[in-house]
Homo-oligomer: A and B are copies of this chain.
Amino acid sequence: VESEIRRVCVLFLDIRGFTTFSEKRTPPEVVNHLNQVFDFMIQIINDNGGIVNKFLGDGFMALFGAPLSYQGQDSANAVRAALAIRVALLAANARGDIAETHIGIGIHVGDALVGNVGSASRKEYSIIGDVVNLASRVESLNKQFHSEILITRAVREELPEEFEKIAKPLGPVSVKGREEQVQIFKLA
């Protein structure tokens, strides 16, 4: 893998209330549940041209635009994946296939450094840059807004018209570690 700057759309997904969920179950039950829901979510990420780059306990980070890019489609693909995950989760909850599960998703797009990072004996495809931190912080805003999917203005600007009517502006939001406020949109 070449070290380079790429435009990458970053999607963070987190399972809500997972600590409370875990308290009432045995460790194998908790891990089986996670694997059950991650399995179809990751499939949806892949089906929409993304990859899960990192598992993060009760969540994951997915990339659209790196290492492969569908030129000009990466942000739209990330949003399509997020919407499809929400629909699939609603259906699984309604059918009682899984213990009731709720999620938060945050999506941001920007330039980032990518490359293989690690030790001499073990390197991983990594993405480094502020776009990652902001995507993670946008995800964490879901709690405050009682929302499930939040995107930044940068993502919205790369979306086709069909998505415009479902992206509701929540106004500028202060985010830790940034002077400028961030324009956030909730996907209805």
- Residues of A whose CB lies within 8 Å of any CB of B are 3-5, 18-19, 22, 27-28, 30-32, 34-35, 38-39, 42-43, 52, 54-58, 113-120, 122-124, 126-130, 132
Contacts and interface: CB of A to CB of B under 8 A. Distances in A.
A3 B19 contact: no
Contact of A3 (B27, B56, B124, B127): B27
A118 B57 contact: no
A126 B38 CA distance: 13
16 contacts: A3-B27, A3-B31, A4-B27, A19-B130, A27-B114, A30-B113, A31-B117, A35-B119, A35-B123, A38-B118, A38-B119, A39-B119, A39-B120, A52-B122, A54-B56, A57-B132
Given A31-B3, A113-B31, A58 B128 contact: yes
Nearest to A176: B176
Given A3-B31, A34-B115, A35-B117, 15 more contacts: A3-B28, A3-B30, A4-B27, A19-B129, A19-B130, A31-B116, A35-B123, A38-B118, A39-B119, A52-B119, A55-B118, A57-B127, A57-B128, A57-B129, A57-B132
A137 to B, nearest CB: 11
Nearest to A54: B54
Copies in the complex: 2
Contact of A42 (B18, B27, B28, B118): B118
A31 B115 contact: yes
A53 B19 CA distance: 21
Contacts of A120: 35, 39
